[in-house]
Amino acid sequence: MKPAQSLMTCLAACAAVLPATGQTLNTQLVASGLTAPLFAAAPLADGNVFVVEKGGNIRVANGGTVSTFLSIPVATSGERGLLGLAFDPGYGNLASAGYRRFFVNHIDPTTLETVVASYRTSATNPLQADVSSRVEVLRVAQPAGRDNHKAGWLGFKPGDANNLYIATGDGGSANDPDNNAQNNAVLLGKMLRVDINRDDFADTNVNYGIPVGNPYAGVPGARGEIYASGLRNPFRNSFDSATGNLWIADVGQNAREELDFIAAASGGGQNFGWRIREGDIATPGVGGSDNGGLTSPLLAYDHSFGSSITGGYVVRQVDSPLLGKYVFGDFISGRIWAIDADGSPQSLADATELTAVLDAGSGGGLSNISSFGEGADGALYIVDYAGKVVRVTAVPEPGTLALMLLGGGAVVSAARRRVRASTEVS
């Protein structure tokens, strides 16, 4: 065998096995110098990445340039702020009722209520929101004197352009003192679902409808907006863009962090147990046993691993080694894991830890993971509360460039086909 052929054979073999070790992952810096970023999204394939800052700004990054897309006044003490952003499924469709429309979740600086409102992007500038287009969707009263557990996530289920999902926290303090999460007469500690293309209310500041399929629609004494209950602070959640399954990361108190799951075919109505249960145990000092009416978490971990779960996404980028994996992290410990996304009960013993690989990426070291984000192409983004956003990328397998230079393009192509047939992280 000639030396060149020997090199080609060796490198092709290496390329075929490296994806299973996670060594093909890298990070690419999207934006830096941000102030307390909490979320990122890239709704269109135009390179624009929208980043939510806690203080009330939405910034848009593209090609190394960062500009202000929208700025609104918000209360910022504790866990208050501008907390959520969701783009209408019809955002880029001229024929859709949701064309150029997006939704924000924030805390009103005067009333300290949770507010969900919609805006539209300027008709003449895709990098600027039209502030005059604001429409309030709903308000949720918050307990006086408590500045934590405001949740903030917003999202749309794939294939459903009408219903906006809204995550609310229990309102704050320890042990949910008002028992809000177990009280279906209030909207706190819940996952809500509202129809944003209907208006069932005479009040001009309330602009939504109650979906007829909601589990508590028409039930006396219960709020029809509720889709699921028993949540403490479901700060970051997501829908699987391929299956429609809903992943809920509920931040725990002193003992457990939990990851909850609602299958796409479900009609809702799950009670995830707070304040009776914290993760997979009785809430210390206040909780009790599962009486059969509670839904157990898909995964729970104790505080030796971290103490504030940050929900992520099921990766659907076709050329990623993480394809088909749910990736999530922990704000306090900075650790990042990937698990199977089939909806089966799991533990961190089943997970692949990605912390060292992603923290060593070319996007620079990561610290407090405040959120993940998803691009229109399925790409995964990581938001670092210290001020930056990175995109997770797949780098060429070692030796690919050398093979190309040696005229080994056919060998590399074959190796890549073998890799992509089996590149899920083990």
Domain assignment of residue 423, given as a range: 1-24+396-426
**Whether residue 19 is found in the same domain as residue 76:** no
Closest CA to 328 of 366, 373, 363: 373
Could you report the per-residue pLDDT of 350-405, keeping only the tens digit for each? 999 999 999 999 999 999 999 999 999 999 999 999 999 999 998 866 544 333 33
In this structure, the answer to whether residues 47 and 17 fall within a common structural domain is no
Query: In the chain, how long is the greatest CA-to-CA distance?
Result: 82
Q: Examine the pLDDT at 224 and tell me if it is beyond 50.
A: yes
pLDDT at residue 19, rounded to an integer = 38
pLDDT level of residue 167 (50, 70, 90 thresholds): very high
**Burial of residue 58, with CB atoms counted within 10 A of its CB: 0-12 exposed, 13-18 middle, 19 or more buried:** buried
Mean pLDDT of 283-294: 90
Phi–psi pair at 309, nearest 5 degrees: -65, 140
pLDDT, residue 353, reads: 98
Q: Tens of pLDDT along 407-424?
A: 433 333 333 333 233 333
State residue 417's pLDDT score. Answer: 30
* Residues 136/205, Cβ–Cβ less than 8 Å: yes
The answer, yes or no, to whether residue 271 has pLDDT greater than 70, is yes
Q: Is the pLDDT of residue 291 over 90?
A: no
- pLDDT for res 410: 35
- Average pLDDT estimate for 101-121: 98
Instruction: Examine the domain organization and report whether 291 and 420 are in the same domain.
Output: no
Instruction: Convert the pLDDT of each residue in 69-81 to its tens digit.
Output: 999 999 999 999 9
* One domain, residues 353 and 336: yes
pLDDT reported for residue 303: 98
Task: Please state, in angstroms and rounded to a whole number, the distance separating the CA atoms of residues 135 and 202.
Answer: 14
Between 403 and 240, name the one with better pLDDT. 240
Query: What is the reported pLDDT for 397?
Result: 60
Question: What type of residue is 53?
Answer: E
End-to-end Cα separation, the chain, in angstroms: 34
Q: Whole-prediction pTM value?
A: 0.89
Contact 252, 259 (CB under 8 A): no
Q: 2: pLDDT confidence band, cut at 50, 70 and 90?
A: very low
Query: Rounded distance, CA 130 to CA 272, Å?
Result: 38
Pair of tokens at residue 251: 């931040």
**Cβ–Cβ under 8 Å, residues 235 and 249:** yes
Task: Return the beta strands (E) in 270-379 as ranges.
Answer: 277-278, 281-282, 299-302, 309-314, 325-330, 336-340, 352-353, 369-375
CA–CA separation, 386 and 396 (whole Å) = 29
Question: Average pLDDT, whole number, for the chain?
Answer: 89
In a shared domain, residues 20 and 43? no
Residues 356 and 425 grouped into a single domain: no
Q: What is the pLDDT of residues 5-30, one digit of tens each?
A: 333 333 332 332 233 434 489 999 99
Note whether 219 and 283 are same-domain residues: yes
Domain co-membership, 207 together with 352: yes
Does the pLDDT of residue 34 top 80, yes or no? yes
Q: What local confidence, expressed as pLDDT, does residue 398 receive? A: 58
Query: In 3-state terms, what secondary structure has residue 392?
Result: strand
The answer to whether residues 298 and 424 belong to one domain is: no
CA dihedral (171, 177, 183, 186) in degrees, to 10, reads -30
pLDDT at 406 over 70: no
> 332: domain CATH number?
2.120.10.30
What number is the average pLDDT over the span 48-62?
98
Give the dihedral sign, CA 256/330/233/224.
negative
Which among 62, 27, 30, 14 has a CA at the least distance from the CA of 322?
A: 27
Amino acid 292: pLDDT: 86
Same domain, 382 and 404: no
- Would the pLDDT of 208 be above 60? yes
Distance (Å, whole) CA 42 – CA 380? 10
Rg (CA), the chain: 22
Asked whether the predicted pLDDT for residue 308 surpasses 70, the reply is yes
Closest CA to 28 of 78, 63, 71: 63
Same domain, 415 and 372: no
CB 184 within 8 Å of CB 215: no
User: Residue 130 contacts by C-beta under 8 Å, 6 or more apart in sequence?
Assistant: 119, 120, 121, 122, 123
The total of structural domains in the chain comes to 2
* Rounded mean pLDDT, 153-181: 98
Torsion, Cα 218 223 224 229, to 10 degrees, reads -120
- Give me 183's structure tokens: 């009280």
Considering the domain architecture, whether residues 317 and 424 belong to the same structural domain is answered as no
Give the pLDDT of residue 425.
Answer: 35
- pLDDT (0 to 100) of residue 419: 29
Per-residue pLDDT tens for 137-153?
999 999 999 999 999 99
pLDDT band at 290, cuts 50/70/90? confident
Contact 425, 338 (CB under 8 A): yes
Q: What is the Cα–Cα distance from 330 to 351, expressed in whole angstroms?
A: 14
